[in-house]
Copies of this chain bind each other. A is one copy, B any other.
């Protein structure tokens, strides 16, 4: 299986980081099948959303409302409220598949594949891209 690991700098602030260009490059020339994007971390997820029009910041705000960064969580280490980052991947899953047609991502016009990383204690992240070719 063709697979690679991206090294992504997300910094020390919550981030919605667009991976679409890297994904498109990875599947270029790959034929047809499924791209799986997978984040091997317990405090990050993947969202397919529109970027550049405010929704990236809106998403971080919504996640702050849904999973408050306060002292209610039993899982405590790192920055105050970090326990909520450990719940993120249950809501924003760390794995997503995108159809690939003749080496091109079958994304809609406004869709971007984004790493969603609210963890401010971990400025670098890995993301695994894997291409599964169809057997038929």
Contact = CB atoms under 8 A, between A and B. Distances in A.
Interface of A: 1-3, 31-34, 36, 38-42, 47-50, 53-55, 57-59, 61-62, 66-67, 72-77, 83-84, 86-87, 89-99, 101, 106-111, 116, 126, 128, 130-136
Contacts of A76: 54
B54 A101 contact: no
Given A34-B34, A54-B74, A55-B86, A95 B96 contact: yes
Given A74-B57, A128-B106, A1 B38 contact: no
A48 B2 CA distance: 23
A58 B40 contact: no
A71 B28 CA distance: 40
Contacts of A97: 34, 36, 38, 95, 97
A16 to B, nearest CB: 9
B93 A48 contact: yes
A74 B50 CA distance: 13
Contact of A87 (B38, B41, B58, B75): B58
